[in-house]
Amino acid sequence: MTSKPYRIWFDGEFVAWEDAQVHLLTHTLHYGLAAFEGIRAYRCSDERSAVFRLQEHVDRLFASAHIARIEIPFTKEETHNAIIELLNINYLEEAYIRPIAYIGGGKVGLHPGDNPIHLAIAAYPWGTYLGEGALSKGISAKVSSYTRMGVNSFMTKAKISGNYVNSVLAKVEATSYGSDEAILLDSEGYVAEGSGENIFIVRNGKLKTPPLTSILEGITRDSVIKIAQDEGIEVEAERFTRDELYIADEAFFTGTAAEITPIREVDKRTIGKGKPGPITKRLQSRFFDIVEGKDPKFLGWLEFFSATAPLKVKSESK
Ligand code: PPE
């Protein structure tokens, strides 16, 4: 693991990047049960910075943990404050924030028993998720040979580490075939989501996105729906097939990491004109205005902080 000059919040203390270690017999390492989040903080136009929809992410972290029967030994408020403190302490004006609640070592075997639950939060700069030019030119995607896991096999509403085995397999497959990202179909063959994003299509001026049945309840997805409604664009949460995707006028992914990434090609079929379409561009530009605090209507989604006032480090090592 390459060292970074950032501290990590680990069970209530700040530790150096390289000291945030786990034991080999960590339960989660073997069985994949951990609840995690991906959150972004942006530098705003007025010298301040802001975390985008922080409370919703903290709520989803606790919802994922609840589904997984992981009892996080901190309150939502403590977690929320820890994230802001971490950004301050690291002077991070822009960051990707990764909280993870996991089951530690103790008894080996499937039942987590009394193994301790840990909460760790890392934050570091992370640029464009799908590579240079992804946001301005769009990316290529491949419908995966892997099916999105069924709703009674995995808990798709929960952001649980083990769920991502499906995503990692799909992502590696897609990139090894030369595509930038994978699109997974659900067990009935309808379009579900990307390996780490929700998906939207535009047809005849209307937006369509798969219903929440078998996908992650994306916070960016929810934001895009609300922005589109504000723009007077009709949005339907309705199932669609891969061939409807092929004949869409526009398509894009949404996610904290991916933000709003246009899709210009799927399975070697050009989508629309093969470049970001007008509705995608409109939503993308409104989204970036909002996260940068330039849109008074959506200021409620931002939690401002000043990364210029670091707090005192409580502890050097765990
Ligand atoms: N679906 C999946 C499967 C998913 O992982 C994400 C986020 C989304 C939808 C979009 O959710 P939201 O971020 O709330 O809009 N994926 C996270 C992890 C990416 C990673 O590579 O790690 C993210 O974007 O932070």
Per residue in 214-229, pLDDT (tens digit) is: 899 999 999 999 999 9
What's the start-to-end Cα distance of the chain, in Å?
18
Catalytic residue among 157, 159, 171, 208: 159
Alpha-carbon torsion (267, 269, 275, 280), positive or negative: negative
- Residue 317's pLDDT is what? 37
> What is the Cα–Cα distance from 149 to 164, expressed in whole angstroms?
10
Q: Residue 315 C-alpha to ligand 1 middle, in angstroms? A: 31
Q: Is 139 in the pocket of ligand 1 (CB under 6 A)?
A: no
- Report, as an integer, the average pLDDT of 181-204: 98
Sequence-ordered list of residues with C-beta below 8 angstroms from that of 226, at least 6 positions apart, any chain: none
Q: Is the separation of the CB atoms in 261 and 271 below 8 Å?
A: no
- Residue 313's pLDDT is what? 45
- Residue 45's pLDDT is what? 83
What are 7-18's pLDDT values in tens digits? 999 999 999 999
- Report, as an integer, the average pLDDT of 181-200: 98
Query: Does the active-site annotation cover 159?
Result: yes
Q: Is 218 in the pocket of ligand 1 (CB under 6 A)?
A: yes
- Specify the pTM: 0.95
Q: Is 39 in the pocket of ligand 1 (CB under 6 A)?
A: no
Q: Residue 316 C-alpha to ligand 1 middle, in angstroms? A: 31
Q: Residue 126 C-alpha to ligand 1 middle, in angstroms? A: 14
Q: Is 197 in the pocket of ligand 1 (CB under 6 A)?
A: yes
CB atoms near residue 120 (< 10 Å): 20
Residue 185 phi/psi, 5-degree rounding, is -95, 155
Q: Residue 37 C-alpha to ligand 1 middle, in angstroms? A: 8
- Residue 291's pLDDT is what? 98
- Report, as an integer, the average pLDDT of 8-36: 97
* pLDDT band at residue 315 under the 50/70/90 scheme: very low
What are 50-67's pLDDT values in tens digits? 999 999 999 999 999 999
Phi-psi region of 82 (alpha: psi -120 to 50; beta: other; left: phi over 0): alpha
Domains and CATH numbers, the chain: 7-126+301-305 (3.30.470.10), 134-276 (3.20.10.10)
